[in-house]
Amino acid sequence: MAKKDANTPEEVGTTGHEWDGIEELNKPLPKWWLYVFYACIVWAIGYWLVYPAWPTVSSYSKGFMGYSQRGQVAKDVAASQADKAVFRDKIAAADMEAIKADPELFNFALAGGQAAFGDNCAPCHGRGAQGAFGYPNLRDDAWLWGGTLDAIHQTIQHGIRAEDSATRMSMMPAFGKLGMLNRDQVADTAEYVMSLSGNSDDAEAAARGKEVFMTNCVACHGPDGTGNKALGAPNLTDELWLYGGDKETIVETITNSRGGIMPAWAGRLDPATIKELAIYVHSLGGGQ
């Protein structure tokens, strides 16, 4: 007996559709596929009833279980905050050295400070705190206002040239723009500043610039050019430059001055977070 072919019109019939001699067979789907399909429909209806699903005019159907992803996240966040509250209360009450001396508090503060740094400080100082043009590298030892725990805490809390009554404040005059020095004096002073770090190649200009420097710059930078942390005046004898150490850039700085601004984080961040930030920044390697 010849085997029947289930793929012929004689065995399964056709839908009546035909294109260029090709007929569309009316072959039924496998039963297992239909059963799975029906089960999915039943599952979907049950899901619609149990969980939030249907939009309404001003809200949505809550479902029999009343489940809400937003609500669950809010509960998880609240639970996490409650777990952290014990440590954060201790950090808020303790001084910086006491936190550093307590391994458990110190590790908690480091983790919290790293998170807060990524959220608030990385856009300017970089994700790795390496800094950028006009933004200090927090991993080296060049600290304009000091790199101790307390000094870093003060800077974070009150900012630099910020709208805060206790902010760090200093201002370098725009010697060229204000007519305090002429163009040649500015150029000679820049040459002298470069000589302090061994980068000058014009000894005569540097000698002339030294006279100008001693008259106009020593009050802040000191007679040896090593700076003054109490005034936020940078050390000019190293090769760490916030805006660049080539002559053109130094001339620009002397001519028009520089005045970067760091916001005061007091009032934006709570006291515990500010302490955590100070401890984290101090731990990066440049803290003193």
Q: Do the domains 183-256 and 83-167+262-284 match in fold?
A: yes
Domains of the chain, by residue range, sit at 27-68, 83-167+262-284, 183-256
Would you list which residues are annotated within the binding site? Answer: 121, 124-125, 172, 217, 220-221, 262
pLDDT for 286 equals: 64
pLDDT in tens, the chain (288 residues): 444 555 665 566 787 787 888 888 887 888 999 999 999 999 999 988 888 887 888 888 888 887 878 888 888 888 888 888 889 999 999 998 999 999 999 999 999 999 999 999 999 999 999 999 999 999 988 899 999 999 999 999 999 999 999 999 999 999 999 999 999 999 999 999 999 999 999 999 999 999 999 999 999 999 999 999 999 999 999 989 999 999 999 999 999 999 899 999 999 999 999 999 999 999 997 656
**Secondary structure in 3-state letters for the chain:** CCCCCCCCHHHHCEEEEEECCEEEECCCCCHHHHHHHHHHHHHHHHHHHHCCCCECCCCECCCCCCCCHHHHHHHHHHHHHHHHHHHHHHHHHCCHHHHHHCHHHHHHHHHHHHHHHHHHCHHHHCCCCCCECCECCCCCCCCCCCCCHHHHHHHHHHCECCCCCCCECCCCCCCCCCCCCCHHHHHHHHHHHHHHCCCCCCHHHHHHHHHHHHHHCHHHHCCCCCCECCCCECCCCCCCCCCCCCHHHHHHHHHHCCCCCECCCECCECHHHHHHHHHHHHHCCCCC
Letter string b/e over residues 188-226, b meaning 16 or more CB atoms within 10 A of that residue's CB: bbbbbbbbbbeebebeebbebbbebbeebbeebbbeebe
pLDDT for 5 equals: 54
What's the CATH class of domain 183-256? mainly alpha
pLDDT for 55 equals: 84
pTM of the model: 0.73
CA dist 138 and 147 (Å) reads 9
Would you list which residues are annotated within the binding site for heme c? Answer: 121, 124-125, 172, 217, 220-221, 262
pLDDT for 63 equals: 83
pLDDT for 2 equals: 43
The one-letter amino acid code at 159 reads G
CATH 1.10.760.10, applies to 83-167+262-284: yes
CA dist 244 and 241 (Å) reads 5
